Structure 1
């Protein structure tokens, strides 16, 4: 899969190249202010698509955060797509300043995937889980536990990128996709799971422990 080792996600290359080219053109024309503006955009785009190395916690049973950001929801909800029952949802909101490369929260086989077009509401709002454009992965671990994690587009984000296909086996902490320019990831645990994060906490993709299965 893509972006397993690159320091900058490949999805950012077209944007970085475009801004760098425009910066060069303005510099050659001697337009100082516009040169500085587009140089800033070039540097920010490199920063936005950064893809740092992370080390998963030693506890192999821990379900880890798929995204950098702030926990904006923890609680029970109806999950009618796969669990067909109540589930525990943990929602992580990513601002434009967070790393946007997403990582697998646990190891397992991709049983199913979905993608739905939708609106582009503020991803920090809970109704974004139902109304916004989104794509999800339903995964089963080697022990038979199942987890659903959903990438959700936001007010600015307009592109969800997901690398795996049905049948792929993901390793905990590996990069599996990204969302461009501000977004959210929801993780659905089976009811009875032990959740280790609370509202307002910050998470780091591939490192922070969200919880444990029953």
Structure 2
């Protein structure tokens, strides 16, 4: 299994953590031991901004969870982005992190949709279309979070991304809808906890190529 490599603290939160540490040091200089609550805050902030390494499953046809959270829905529905029948898996991220977004599959970024271009009535603020080398299509779509409605996404159209690789950040969490080919069997159930880059949500199904015998 491959392991994604990055800092244990999300780089998006590093400036905030540095400011908190600096503030705690100043308080300790002026107030000594009475400044201990500021260090508790630093520890809590560091835990909230954590970005642990994840072992990516050795499953080329597996679709991994893009975020940590709880499965809220597993249903057959219409994909509003690609106008196809699809399997939708909805994941609600917790307020207490982690907030890292990962790629559900290996492939290329085909298109982005922002708040002003998402389909009307979808309730999404951002969506990304990924396509595998076998032309399996996956759409990741973000519902507005409780406090933030936007995502920090580091993918551009045409980029190549690996399965389970870090590709964005969603401050304080949100709900993510994952639209998959309709024939994908789900590997999770409603209420199940999933881990970004590690839990398998579903699996691509490819028809085996039938070889015709050679006749003389």
Alignment TM-score > 0.5, same fold: yes
TM-score normalized by the length of structure 2: 0.83
The offset of 1:159, in angstroms, is 4.5
In the TM superposition, 1:12-161 aligns within 5 A as 12-30=13-31, 35-81=35-81, 83-116=82-115, 130-131=122-123, 134-157=125-148, 159-161=150-152
Partner SS state of residue 29, structure 2:
helix
In the TM superposition, 1:134-213 aligns within 5 A as 134-157=125-148, 159-213=150-204
Partner SS state of residue 131, structure 1:
coil
Are the structure 2 counterparts of residues 10 and 107 from structure 1 closer, same or farther at C-alpha, using a change threshold of 3 Å?
A: same
Are the structure 2 counterparts of residues 186 and 4 from structure 1 closer, same or farther at C-alpha, using a change threshold of 3 Å?
A: farther
The structure having more radius of gyration, on CA atoms, is 2
Q: How many residues align?
A: 198
Residues 175-199 of structure 1: CA deviation (Å, up to 9, x unaligned): 0111111322221112222111110
Q: Which structure 2 residue ranges, 5 or more long, are not aligned?
A: 206-216
Q: Which structure 1 residue ranges, 5 or more long, are not aligned?
A: 118-128
Partner SS state of residue 188, structure 2:
coil
Q: Distance in 1 between matches of 2:38 and 2:175?
A: 28
TM-score normalized by the length of structure 1: 0.84
**What value does the CA root-mean-square deviation take over the aligned residues?**
2.1
Are the structure 2 counterparts of residues 103 and 111 from structure 1 closer, same or farther at C-alpha, using a change threshold of 3 Å?
A: same
Q: Distance in 1 between matches of 2:63 and 2:123?
A: 26
Partner SS state of residue 18, structure 2:
helix
The offset of 1:208, in angstroms, is 0.6
